[in-house]
Each structure stands twice: as C-alpha cells, then as structure tokens.
Chain A
Amino acid sequence: MRIAESFDGDGVSGGEWLSTRGTDSDIVISSRVRLARNVRAHRFAVKADAEQRRAIEEELRYALGRVDFDEEMVYLDLEKASPIDAEMLVERHLVSRELARGEGPRAALFAPSETVCVMVCEEDHLRLQVLRSGFELDAAWRIADDLDDRIARRVDYAFSSRYGYLTCCPTNVGTGLRASVMLHLPALVYSKHIEKVFQAGSKMNLAVRGLYGEGTQALGDFYQISNQVALGLSEADVLERLNRVVPQFIDYERRLRQALLDGDRARLEDRIWRAYGVLRAARTITSEETLELLSAIRLGVNLGLLPSELTIESVNELFITSQPAHLQKLSAGKMEPRVRDVARANLLRKKLGAL
C-alpha cells in the first residue's frame, strides 16, 4: 500500500470501468457493489469526536496496510489532499461527495485500475466499492465479497447475528450491500417514457437516482438503479432481483431506440449531428450542456449514426474529463467557472476534431 497526499492518476483516461468490455455496455455504463462496514470497538463517525476519528483512521490505515490485495493500492489521505484532487475522485465515481467534501481524518484506498475503492471514515468506518464496466453485478459482487473477507482478517467488524453488519444509518444495516447499475437511457428520455422506469423501480423496491447517487439530478440521461433493502434478504436475493429487472429496462431502451430510428430517423439524426456540431465548434460550454450533448453523441455512436472513428470508450472518457475538477487538474490550477467553460470547449474541440 502506497500512502499518497495527492491524486496523480493521469487526468486524461479514466478507470477500467469506462471501457466497453462488459455485457450490454451500450446501455449499462457500469455495475457497482458497495458494502458498508464498521469497526466493533469504535463509535460511528457521527458520534466520534476529532480525536476518536483520528484514532479510527490511524487504526484502519494500519490494518488496511496489512491486507493482502491483488494490486498495490493507493491510500489517499483526503485530509491532506487538495479539494481538486478529492473532487476528481468524485467525478471518477470512486468516492462520494460527502467523503470528498467532508472534514477531518478520512481517506480513499483504491487500486490503480480504479475497479476497487475503499472509503475510510465516511458515514461508516469503511465503505468497500467494486466498479465494473457493463452489466456485471455478479462479477462485482464476487470481487467485493472476497475483498470483504480479506479485510475481515485484519479488522474486527461490528456484526451481530440478529442485525448483521451494523451501520450508522438503519437503512444500510444487515448486508450493508448496495448493488447498483448505471444506465444510459436517452431513448426513454426522448420518448418521454422515463417516468415508467421510476414507477417500475418503486414497485420492485428499487431506487432510481441521478448521476452521482443520492439526491442528484439525472444529468446526461444517466440513471442509477439500486436496491433499497439490506435486511431480511440475502446478498444473492438482492442481486437476483436486480438481475431480473435491469434487463427489462435495457430491452425497453433498445426497443425505443429502434422505434426512434424507424419512426423519424431524420429528426433523430438531426439531434445527434447538431450535438456533434456544437461540441466541435463551441468556444465556451457549461458542464450541464456538455453532458446533455455527449449523451446524444453516445447514442449516435451506439446506433452507428456518427463517424466510426468515434468510439464509445472515448465518449465515456469525455464524460469524466470534461468535469470541473478534471479540467482544473489538467490546467494545473483553480479556474473560475467562466474560464473553465472556455477550457472545456477547447478540450472537446481537441478530442472530437475541431470543425
């Protein structure tokens, strides 16, 4: 384990999960499994004072340093890291906003491939996350389960036979598991059918959220579907439910994409080509507009409507690298939003080939 105080993952590429290797990756961007764990002998973070929090972080840093991982892990001390570096981890979906913008001793332990990340001293002492490209929940669970076993050899978890893994918030107690998939559903949005996803989700006891998790907007037509129940269901049952429901959403999106092509191809092509045109010509552009236009381009590439040299992988990457913290890291310094919008337009023109 290497201890770091700054994030030096190169600003250009993202994690392995941005690749399109996984199943159904035209629609499913990534599959994620998160496990909430706490140390038995300590208070949860909300009730721990500064000194106790420091003790927890130090203990966990020591214990995690002795866990046998498959890759050499980076332990990023977020108390010492710059806010831009912390925000980059949020944009790469490695850590939550709460952890990045929090205070006091806290850290992110991640593999260089960015498939695995452990948040230290978030709401729970440990939050293990595994991220995979495409619809690969079972594979993500197997890795998380194994990672959890390895950490359990070094950390005495708060666990009770009655309630399972004890967590700060009663919504997570039990398995501490949240399994989620990030879906790109532009056709459902364009056809105004997205409400049905929300309705179906709530009927199946699944949560539907925006791009960065709880309480965030569905920017760029991205939606996260995840389980809400953590107690009284086994991990296998939770995964089974998602594995049953998500393919229906995928199928629905695919059928609507075809319907858009069959119904009014000219209008769909116009929408996609205009987005492509703006992104290749703009001199200043906000991150919201970028997400919206990149979403159209992503759909265009998947439907084979745009030049073939444009790949899904490169579009996926632009979703990350055009975000504020990534732009600031690239330019090596803090930038005002107005300056950032110019830098973003420059980046997009460079990557997509200026008009």
Chain B
Amino acid sequence: MSDKCERCNERPATVHLTDILENHEKQVRHLCEECAASEQDGPVELMGMLSSAFTPAESVKDPSGLRCDECGLGYMEFRARGRLGCPQCYEVFRASLEPLLEKIHGGSQHVGKAPDESSAVDRSRERRLVELRRDLQASVREERYEEAARLRDELTRFEAEEAGEASAEPSVAAVAADADASDATPDATSDVGEGDAGESGSDDADR
C-alpha cells in the first residue's frame, strides 16, 4: 500500500483508526504503527489499562516487534487500538495479553460455556478442560480441598496433553459443511428456498 501516514508523512499507513465524533460523525485517520501508538485520544478507559498493563516489568522480552502472521497485526497497533485482529492473535500476544486480561476481568481463564456435542466441529476435549477448571473453581470456593487437589492434577495432565497436540489441530472450514445434514434434528421443518433443494446430500463435493 502506497498511502503514507497522515501524521509523520513518512512511514506507510497501516493503522486505520475510526473516531466517532461528538456529533456522531465518523472520522477515519490513516496512521503508521508508531504514530498510532503515540495517539492519546483512543478509547480512554481501555488505553489506560493497556498502558499500565504493558509495563516493562511484566513483559521481560520486548514485545514491540511481535506480529501475527495470520492477520498481520503488529504489537504496536494492538496497543494503539486495544483490538485483536484474528483468533490466532490470542496466542501470538499471549504474554502481554494475560496481565491485561487479569486487569480487565480479574481472571485470565475461561470457566463458562463451551460448544456442546452437537456443535459443527468436535470440541469435546476443549469442553472437558473448561469443565475441569470450573469444577476446580467450585471445589476451592466450597473448601473441598481433596477434590480440588485431584482436579488440579487432572487439569495439569490434561493441559500437558493438549500442549503436545496443539500443533496437530486440524484447520477446519469456517462453516461446517453438510456433514451433519443426515442427522439433522427431526423437527427441522425445512423452510426450503430455491437454494436448498440439494440439501439432502447431492453437494458432497465440498467435503
């Protein structure tokens, strides 16, 4: 992209900030990462948290050169905007993210819902991990320490296994193909439109 940063007029503009003005008009500014990072008028609340969460003491290695190879988001741009670019960013920026998540939520691990067994892709292992963590949290809260210790060991073992297999995770298509068409729920009253005629199984080609 040949567009130059509006502020320094030197480096290429890779950050596109949209400001909502008082009168609800939108203003888009095109900046380079360095200038964007020095902007003070971003979403104030989050910016404050970001700058304090990113104190050098908390990130031993300098993260400023980090970049997500999936979406191209750079660390400085993430810092300027407080937004991530894609699911993979959560892994790429993990070291800086965790203290930030702690600060925002008071926790950095999920204990809520996970996609159930009917979901488009099998998530049973991920679900099991979240369940273990939730049970652990509950047993600590209710002072059932023996059970907590057992759950903690199981969780550690499970996480280690997960880490070992992380690289083997298949890359799946965004939308589940028609893999589940045959076991569709019986009450699926198909509101058949023109496009749906082939749903019963003739479009297997894309599997």
> Is B90 a contact partner of A43 (Cβ separation < 8 A)?
no
Are the C-beta atoms of A160 and B175 separated by less than 8 Å?
no
Instruction: Identify which of A162, A169, A175 contacts B112 (C-beta below 8 A).
Output: A175
Contact (Cβ within 8 A) A44 B85: yes
Provide the residues of chain B in CB contact with A231, threshold 8 Å.
Answer: 101, 104-105, 107-110
Say how far B36's CB is from chain A's closest CB, in angstroms: 13
A228 to B101, CA, bound (A): 12
For chain A, the count of residues having a C-beta within 8 Å of the partner chain is 59
Contact of A160 among B90, B187, B193 (CB under 8 A): B90
Say if the beta carbon of A297 comes within 8 Å of chain B: no
A110-137 near B? 1/0 per residue, CB < 8 Å: 0000000000000100000000000000
The interface-forming segment of A33-41, A189-197, A258-266 is A33-41
User: In angstroms, how far is the closest chain B Cβ from the Cβ of A324?
Assistant: 12
A240–chain B nearest beta-carbon distance, Å = 13
Q: Are the CB atoms of B113 and A235 closer together than 8 Å?
A: yes
- Residues of chain A within 8 A (CB-CB) of B193 are 1, 65
Number of B interface residues, CB 8 Å? 60
A44 engages B86 (CB within 8 Å): yes
Q: Does A248 contact B (CB under 8 A)?
A: no
**CB of B97 closer than 8 Å to a CB of A:** yes
Per the 8 Å Cβ criterion, residues 162-191 of B in contact with A are 162, 171-176, 180, 185, 187-189, 191
Closest to A152 in B: B119
Q: Which residues of A contact B191 (CB under 8 A)?
A: 1, 72
Stretch at the interface among B2-10, B68-76, B143-151: B68-76
Contact digits for B87-105, partner A, Cβ 8 Å, 1 yes 0 no:
1001000000100110011
B120 within 8 A of A: yes
B11-64 CB contacts (< 8 Å) to partner A: 20, 24, 26, 46
Q: In whole angstroms, what is the CA distance A337 to B102 when docked?
A: 46
Answer yes or no: A288 CB below 8 A from chain B CBs. Answer: no
Given A145-B113, A156-B174; A43-B86 close (CB under 8 Å): yes
- Per-residue CB contact flags for chain A residues 142-154 toward chain B (1 = under 8 Å, else 0) read 0001001100111
Residue in chain A with minimal CB distance to B138? A234
Please tell me if the beta carbons of B26 and A101 are within 8 angstroms of each other in the complex. Answer: yes
Q: Using Cβ atoms and an 8 Å threshold, which residues of chain B touch A153?
A: 118-120, 176, 180
Pair A234/B112 contact, Cβ less than 8 Å: yes
Residues from chain B with Cβ under 8 Å of A97 in the complex: 24
Closest to B115 in A: A152
Rounded to whole angstroms, the CA-CA distance of A215 and B188 in the bound complex is: 41
B193 to chain A, nearest CB (A): 7
A-B residue pairs, 10 tightest by C-beta: A232-B107, A164-B110, A47-B85, A41-B174, A175-B112, A161-B129, A231-B105, A158-B87, A161-B126, A152-B119
**Contact sample, A vs B, 5 pairs, CB 8 Å cutoff:** A63-B176, A163-B108, A168-B84, A232-B111, A234-B112
A41-B173, A148-B113, A175-B113 given. 5 additional CB < 8 A pairs? A156-B174, A161-B110, A161-B162, A164-B114, A231-B105
B residues adjacent to A (C-beta < 8 A) = 20, 24, 26, 46, 70-73, 81-87, 90, 97, 100-101, 104-116, 118-121, 123, 125-127, 129-130, 134, 162, 171-176, 180, 185, 187-189, 191, 193, 195-196, 199
